[in-house]
Structure 1
Amino acid sequence: MSAFDPQPASPWWTPSVHADRRPILLARGRIEAGVRAWLADRDFLIVDPPGLQRSPGNETHLHAFGTQMIGNDGVGVPMYLCTSPEFTMKKLLAAGERRIASLQHVWRNRERSALHHPEFTMLEWYRAGEPYDAVIEDCVALARLAAESTGIGRFSFRGRECDPFAEPERLGVVEAFALHAGVDLLASLDENGVPDGAALAAQMRGIGMAVPEDESWSYLFSHILVERVEPQLGNGRITVLDRYPAAEAALARRLPGDARLSERFELYACGVELANGFGELTDPDEQRRRFAAEMDEKQRLYGERYPLDEDFLAALALMPEASGVALGFDRLVMLATGAQRIEAVLWAPVAE
């Protein structure tokens, strides 16, 4: 049974299946060792954020695993498994650290597919006092390092190929929507970046896309991105998709000179999103407003909301200007080994 088969007939722990999977798992180890050495060579301090958090994050479509922390008095306090080490790492920046990174397991609910797993490995790092172009360059360098670690010449996924050593494509979100979907995204945003769902819906109808009833601008934006734009990204070479609308970047600072856009980017190869990074927002009042709006929308759509991390908001007042990025380590291993499902690169996949 090949490790590339979509659904092995036997469990992963069957000796014959493990024997097929083992070369990929050893390659994963080589990539991890290379990443850790690369970070050390650039003076990144590897930190170890906790897996339990009071708040799992305050983004509308982020779904956490909830649990309880029971004290000596037997009283339970709601807690969540970490969806990202971001809040903890930004507190460390506020404490005085300058270059930090983590490579750890994180957990996200409602996510399982060829590219998604409820428990996965995230590589996240921050550069204090450096522009977000610096972490974009980091992402490209790490993609190339992964390819070098396995000796693969080109990434491939579902019939698409990408040369990680070629000069990356740099494409703004507004430009990408116009080029690949025929949508004028700025026409659905006012001068302050406030989105107009009806205006975006009208454009969707104009290009022959179905528009669901009672859906927000954010949902429509994501629908166009996934259906029309993402399949065109990272084909032949890596694509850096940047300058996201501010409405889609709750943790990023606004782009200087244009309040409609933000310092957010995503890195794509073979149509696969590998990384998501920001020029980080450090204004606690603005961050609180954005989180509140995200949780109001989460309540409307899913009937739940997560608490705010008040320590995180307090720490933002002390945090220096910084840039940071989260990279899906398992996806990077997939592309560097030719695996077609995320389970193929995990030592022990979570049971269905």
Structure 2
Amino acid sequence: MQSPVSSSWWRADLHAERRGFLLARNAIKRAFRDWFEAQGFLEVECAALQVSPGNETHLHAFATEAVGMGGERTPLYLHTSPEFAAKKLLAAGETQIFDFARVWRNRERGPLHHPEFTLLEWYRAGAPYETLMADCANLMALAAESAGARLLTFRGHDADPFLEPDRVTLAQAFDQFAGIDLWASVSAEGSTDREGLAAAAKSAGVRVSDDDNWADIYSKVLVERIEPKLGMGRPTILCEYPISEAALARPKAADPRVAERFELYACGVELANAFGELTEPVEQRRRFEAEMDEKDRVYGERYPIDEDFLAALPHMPDACGSALGFDRLVMLATGAERIEQVLWTPLAPTPGL
């Protein structure tokens, strides 16, 4: 099949080659809706235009503006996730919600990345975040079943979605795949030791630049040594992230170094990111400001903080939430090689993306 990145997807022959993937996408979406509704969830539609697109250092948004009747202009952004709006709905009294949200992220294009894509996000009030692990396992199996697949596959790798996922902590993964003691560079209060992690990473053969901070080195080890090994044969749940790597998650009660965060992997592909949600506005503001300071340092830009979101947090119940890359899961369930194969109308090639 010709790559839809270099060819016009609307040509009848190219569309015919993609159509089986697209019909499977629809079948998976129908099955997911039925599953959520059977679980007592309410489908919602979070607005894409927001005053803040999210406040994570390495997420890049599409900016726009609202023009008033008198010509006044207000900056707005297309959201990178429906998270802020969804949590406001929890504060308003909803308890179990899901959204097949169209989201936008700039500076992203590749086999697994598209500037506009679908995040399936769902939230459970009053439930421990481990509940989401079971949700993810159920949805993977349902996706494969709906697509008529026995295995999830990508680039010659496979994972059995009908097996219970392996559960691996970040500390175990760093030790197993890179020979690094992760917690040796994290204090009991959660602060990090850049030089300690840099030395360990260099010893493991990971290239470290002079201007890399602790988070940069951590990410290099994760991307180069750990992620490609996850979800082989069976899915993997990677959990117990350092608190510094989970800006919207609450700490685990038993260990303030550890966040209630996990990510789901299959065939070396990240599929979902889940949290026990932080609801403390002062701490959330501090984290957002730190993320934006780092964004300013690295990229020379920062996004506004959604003050309405911070105002809603104290009214939000204890909850957990997950964001699943729906297009990626469809890819793995259908055997697609590029994300454009499972998108009905992919964006034409754009210089710089």
Classify the TM-score, shorter chain: over 0.9
**Structure 1: 5+ residue runs without aligned partners?**
none
Q: Distance in 2 between matches of 1:126 and 1:9?
A: 38
Residue of structure 1 equivalent to 2:178: 181
Choose the corresponding residue for 1:153, options 141, 150, 155. Answer: 150
Q: Distance in 1 between matches of 2:282 and 2:226?
A: 33
Contact 1:58 1:291 in 2 (8 A): yes
Cα pair distance change 1:32/1:259, threshold 3 Å: same
Q: Distance in 2 between matches of 1:56 and 1:319?
A: 20
Choose the corresponding residue for 2:103, options 99, 103, 106. Answer: 106
Do residues 313 (structure 1) and 295 (structure 2) align?
A: no
Q: How far 1:64 moved relative to its partner?
A: 0.3
Q: Letter of the aligned partner of 1:245 in structure 2?
A: P
Q: Distance in 1 between matches of 2:264 and 2:215?
A: 20
Q: How far 1:190 moved relative to its partner?
A: 1.0
Q: Letter of the aligned partner of 2:293 in structure 1?
A: D
Residue of structure 1 equivalent to 2:344: 347
> What is the identity percentage for the equivalent residue pairs of Structure 1 and Structure 2?
58
Cα pair distance change 1:62/1:8, threshold 3 Å: closer
Contact 1:43 1:99 in 2 (8 A): yes
Residue of structure 1 equivalent to 2:276: 279
TM-score (norm. length: structure 2):
0.97
Output aligned runs, 1:208-219, within 5 Å. 208-219=205-216
Residue of structure 2 equivalent to 1:45: 42
Q: Distance in 1 between matches of 2:206 and 2:39?
A: 46
Residue of structure 1 equivalent to 2:69: 72
Do residues 85 (structure 1) and 71 (structure 2) align?
A: no
Choose the corresponding residue for 1:35, options 14, 32, 35. Answer: 32
Q: Letter of the aligned partner of 2:179 in structure 1?
A: G
Q: How far 1:299 moved relative to its partner?
A: 0.6
Residue of structure 2 equivalent to 1:142: 139
Q: How far 1:8 moved relative to its partner?
A: 6.8
Residue of structure 1 equivalent to 2:266: 269
Moved over 6 A (4+): none
Do residues 294 (structure 1) and 291 (structure 2) align?
A: yes
Residue of structure 1 equivalent to 2:59: 62
SS at match of 2:241: coil
Choose the corresponding residue for 1:166, options 157, 163, 167. Answer: 163
Residue of structure 1 equivalent to 2:231: 234
SS at match of 2:80: coil
Q: How far 1:12 moved relative to its partner?
A: 0.6
Choose the corresponding residue for 2:200, options 203, 211, 230. Answer: 203
Contact 2:132 2:322 in 1 (8 A): yes
Contact 1:275 1:328 in 2 (8 A): yes
Output aligned runs, 1:322-341, within 5 Å. 322-341=319-338
Q: Distance in 2 between matches of 1:199 and 1:206?
A: 11
Residue of structure 1 equivalent to 2:124: 127
Contact 1:6 1:340 in 2 (8 A): no
Q: Letter of the aligned partner of 2:159 in structure 1?
A: C
SS at match of 2:71: coil
Q: Distance in 2 between matches of 1:263 and 1:28?
A: 31
Q: Letter of the aligned partner of 1:326 in structure 2?
A: A
Contact 1:81 1:107 in 2 (8 A): yes
SS at match of 2:315: coil
Q: How far 1:261 moved relative to its partner?
A: 0.8
Residue of structure 2 equivalent to 1:97: 94
Q: Letter of the aligned partner of 2:107 in structure 1?
A: R
Q: Distance in 1 between matches of 2:3 and 2:200?
A: 37
Task: Encode CA deviations 1:268-312: one digit per residue, 9 max, x unaligned.
Answer: 000000000000001011101100100110110010110000000
TM-score (norm. length: structure 1):
0.98
Contact 2:8 2:348 in 1 (8 A): no
SS at match of 1:317: helix
